[in-house]
């Protein structure tokens, strides 16, 4: 009997499985390797979503597993002339936000279009000289409506594509630094890829060259998924570091993405590699 594929495992993994694992220990109590494994488990779970409803459910599971209460996911996909926004933020906050046109002064939205790095909300609130009074007012108002702390993780795809996942908590958090930036990006890249797959009007002619990945490119992606640097991968494969970089660049080009973490997420989503 053949071993189950990544897709098979995705479908057999329920949101409660991942959430149950997160209940045994808080995220900050997990060793670094276990924490990285959690990120990949969540990315794998999300990659298995076949419908919008499944994606929303898995997104909530990821939110809870990472120690938050609410999420907001927004994406812009000009290639399929579509944009999305899914949120579990309080309805009262959405009404306040819309009524006052906060989108024009929301510092997390500005950050989405100008950076590729996650941003911790409390750093926005206390960033003197970089954040204006109106921007700080938006963050203060969010706190009034129960969004007391949070983090936003932007991702940029090819062309003008982009999305951002914001995670928020009812409580004051002092432990945002426990999260691994690359791990969070893997999760958001997975959401990005699945969202594109679900909303695409047609896959003909738009699929990346997944099947043209060479065995060596897949091998390099696999070690990257396990957290290895180019140098460490070169030692494992007994090749030069430049050779590893060459293969990873080719993989990034074939997968039509901009960076390694996005390439890993896309390869996982298409069952070409597994991080385990």
Q: Quick one: CA dihedral 154, 157, 160, 161, positive or negative?
A: negative
Contacts for 3 with CB less than 8 Å, ≥ 6 apart: none
> CA separation (Å) from 26 to 62, 120, 130, 170, 182?
13, 19, 33, 16, 19
Sign of CA dihedral 178, 170, 45, 201: negative
Mean pLDDT for all residues in the chain: 78
Other Cβ atoms less than 10 A from the Cβ of 274: the count is 15
pLDDT value of position 126 = 58
Q: Is the overall model pTM greater than 0.85, yes or no?
A: no
Do 38 and 184 contact (CB within 8 A), yes or no? no
d(CA 72, CA 180): 20
Tokens of 123: 């750093």
Mean pLDDT value across residues 40-56: 91
Q: Buried (b) or exposed (e) across 105-140, using 16+ Cβ within 10 A?
A: bbbbbbbbeeebebbebbebbeeeeebeeebbebbe
Task: Please check whether residue 152 is in contact with residue 118, taking contact to mean a CB–CB distance below 8 angstroms.
Answer: yes
pLDDT over 50 at 204, yes or no: no
The stretch 127-152 carries a mean pLDDT of 84
State how far the Cα of 145 lies from the Cα of 124, in Å rounded to an integer. 18
Percent of the chain with pLDDT over 90: 31
Tokens matching residue 94: 């959405």
Which pLDDT score, from 0 to 100, does residue 146 have? Answer: 94
Higher pLDDT, 271 or 84: 84
Task: Note the pLDDT of residue 161.
Answer: 79
Q: Is the pLDDT of residue 57 over 70?
A: yes
């Amino acid at each position: 009997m053949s071993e189950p594929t990544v897709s098979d495992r995705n479908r057999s993994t329920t949101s409660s499985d991942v959430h149950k694992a997160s209940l045994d220990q808080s995220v900050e109590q997990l060793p670094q390797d276990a924490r990285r494994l959690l990120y990949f488990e969540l990315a794998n779970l999300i990659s298995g979503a076949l419908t919008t409803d499944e994606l929303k459910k898995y997104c909530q599971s990821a939110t809870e597993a990472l120690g938050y209460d609410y999420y907001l996911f927004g994406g812009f996909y000009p290639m399929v002339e579509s944009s999305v926004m899914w949120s579990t933020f309080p309805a009262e906050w959405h009404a306040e936000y819309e009524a006052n046109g906060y989108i024009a002064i929301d510092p997390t939205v500005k950050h989405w279009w100008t950076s590729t790095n996650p941003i911790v909300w409390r750093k926005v609130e206390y960033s003197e000289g970089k954040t204006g009074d109106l921007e700080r007012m938006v963050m203060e108002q969010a706190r009034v409506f129960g969004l007391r702390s949070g983090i936003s993780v932007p991702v940029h795809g090819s062309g003008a594509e982009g999305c951002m996942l914001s995670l928020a908590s009812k409580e004051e958090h002092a432990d945002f630094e426990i999260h691994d930036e690359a791990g969070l990006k893997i999760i958001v890249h997975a959401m990005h890829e699945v969202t594109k797959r679900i909303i695409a009007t047609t896959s003909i002619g738009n699929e990346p060259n997944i099947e043209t990945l060479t065995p060596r490119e897949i091998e390099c992606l696999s070690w990257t998924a396990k957290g290895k640097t180019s140098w460490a991968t070169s030692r494992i494969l007994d090749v030069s570091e430049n050779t590893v970089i060459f293969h990873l660049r080719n993989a990034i080009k074939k997968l039509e993405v901009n960076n390694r973490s996005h390439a890993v997420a896309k390869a996982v989503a298409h069952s070409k590699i597994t991080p385990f």
